[in-house]
């Protein structure tokens, strides 16, 4: 099977995953995304370029783009399922492919907050990776949620210590 066909099949699986996600079938979406990953991740840039010609490298760029989108979508599924460690992992894999993937950046920040890594989420939202999106309303809201969760945690800790020291 040639590279072009593998990218097409991988993209078809991604589209099926997107349809399942819209229906709220996160497990079904993950199944389709997993198949997409199998088709798209096997298209190693050097191996494809080594076969000769510029067209495979161009198609590999498309495979990389699609793979980054799939990984980011997988992070969204894991967030919906409450599987925050997997969401962080999927978002990080998407960011290795495209460090400017806005949705992957946002989903990683959400997953860090939701799994309780509040300071990591705060640091990530202030990082060079997330900084280009700092003025986006979703990022502003997420930063506010992180800050509120940190304040709440600190207030609870202070209250517990006050009771302990009496």
Domains of the chain and CATH, by start:
3-165 (1.25.40.10)
pLDDT digits (tens, 9 = 90+) for 85-105: 999 999 999 999 999 999 999
pLDDT at 164: 65
pLDDT at 45: 45
pLDDT at 162: 78
Q: Which residues of the chain have pLDDT under 50?
A: 45-59
Please check whether residue 76 is in contact with residue 107, taking contact to mean a CB–CB distance below 8 angstroms.
yes
Q: What is the pTM for the complete model shown? A: 0.85
Distance CA 116, CA 100 (A): 24
Helix (H, G, I), strand (E, B) or coil at 101: coil
pLDDT at 163: 66
């Amino acid at each position: 099977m040639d590279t072009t066909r593998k990218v097409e099949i991988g993209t078809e699986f991604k589209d099926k995953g997107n349809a399942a996600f819209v229906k709220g079938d996160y497990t079904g979406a993950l199944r389709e995304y997993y198949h997409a990953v199998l088709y798209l991740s096997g298209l190693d840039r050097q191996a494809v370029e080594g076969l000769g010609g510029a067209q495979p490298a161009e198609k590999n760029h498309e495979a990389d783009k699609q793979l980054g989108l799939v990984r980011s979508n997988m992070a969204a599924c894991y967030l919906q399922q409450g599987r925050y460690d997997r969401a962080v992992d999927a978002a990080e894999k998407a960011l290795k492919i495209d460090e400017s993937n806005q949705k992957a950046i946002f989903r990683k920040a959400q997953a860090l907050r939701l799994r309780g890594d509040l300071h990591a989420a705060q640091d990530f939202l202030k990082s060079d990776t997330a900084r280009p999106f700092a003025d986006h309303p979703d990022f502003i809201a997420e930063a506010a949620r992180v800050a509120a969760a940190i304040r709440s945690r600190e207030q609870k800790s202070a209250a517990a210590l006050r009771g302990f020291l009496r």
